[in-house]
Structure 1
Amino acid sequence: MLLYIKEILREGEKMNYCDQCGEKLIYKENGIDGKVPFCPHCQQFKFPAFNSAISAIVFNPDKDKILLIQQYGKPYHVLVAGYINKGENAKEALVREIKEETGLSVVSYVYNDNEYYSKSNTLIHNYAVRVETEDFQLTDEVDDAKWYGLDEVLDTIKPNSLAKSFLQRFLAKL
């Protein structure tokens, strides 16, 4: 059965087997959703699952600098980000991830945008936040971090990345 479960959500493939019992799925009409995978054994429709995450444009108290981080030994700078845990909403994950990775406390936030990231099968919700101080304390999840002025942040963040796209979209609104 484990082999069946591993096949369920390979990127770019249809769901073939039930994630509960391993039964081969059939496609069955389900109202406005059209044909949806259905388990004849469990008698349930099976909608594809995906991950949910947040990313944050972290502003200093004066809103004139943005914090970028480096992680996992990579040479590029990105936004603070992390997965939403089971039972947690996006706003709770936002506050938790910033605190976990930088030790900073969120004072205020606004929703910016969202986008599906196919490489990790993740819907990412992006926020712009203001924190109470510039004095961050990095944990082992982050290799390095630095505040960048609004005039230099777009030249510093990872080129052609979703992080840069979120940042560009938010700065265009200012």
Structure 2
Amino acid sequence: MKYCDECGNQLIEKACGIDGTMPYCQHCQKFKFPMFNSAISAIIFNPQKDKILLIQQYGQEDYILVAGYINKGENAKETLIREIQEEVHLQVKDYMYNDNEYYQRTNTLMHNYAVVVDSMDFSLTSEVDIAKWIPVGDVLKVIKQGSLAQSFVKRYLEKEYSYAKDIFL
């Protein structure tokens, strides 16, 4: 960040306690800490937890996870429930936090959850082109290779299905 997001003046570097040197606006007399987006993504399991719902969006051929940005004034849990309802019309029955990772390309901190929904009867909105229930053992072969989605699923399966690593990984 080179310029103040409030007044537009050029920022200087100034010592800020234990945070070290930070951008500072002399006009506003405020430190300007890094800003980034926050979003959720969801590993959506069917009620039996033997299938995961993957989607294709925006004309892309790759399968990914349902995801969405956290709106101002909204917390991650609200976003998780809203995005799943908006994109595939499913109701969250249970969820647990899986992991998070910073995604540099969009300057976004992604929070990933493992979710169990109430049924397998999804319906799509205009945000989703295709959705498909994939057996858990096949998900890592089908999901976009090298993606953050694949990384989240792999980490979840390694933690939760460690007794069956040979089957999934």
TM-score tier, shorter chain, comes to: over 0.9
Distance 2:56 2:4 in 1: 39
2:116 aligned with 1:133 = no
Counterpart of 1:82 (choices 68, 73, 78) is: 68
CA shift digits 1:23-78 (9 cap, x unpaired)? 11011111000111110000100011100000000000010100000001000100
Identity across matched positions, percent: 66
Q: In the alignment, which residue of structure 2 is the partner of 1:159? A: 145
Distance 1:87 1:63 in 2: 32
Structure 2 unmatched ranges of 5 or more: 161-169
TM-score under structure 1 normalisation?
A: 0.91
TM-score under structure 2 normalisation?
A: 0.94
Alignment of 1:21-170 (within 5 A): 21-170=7-156
Q: In the alignment, which residue of structure 2 is the partner of 1:11? A: none
Aligned residue pairs, count: 160
Q: Which runs of 4+ in 1 moved over 3 A?
A: none
Secondary structure of 1:152's counterpart equals helix
Secondary structure of 1:62's counterpart equals coil
Deviation at residue 151 of structure 1 after TM alignment: 1.4
Q: In the alignment, which residue of structure 2 is the partner of 1:16? A: 2
Distance 2:23 2:123 in 1: 47
Distance 2:24 2:136 in 1: 50
CA shift digits 1:75-111 (9 cap, x unpaired)? 0100000000000011110000000000000000000
Structure 1 unmatched ranges of 5 or more: 1-14
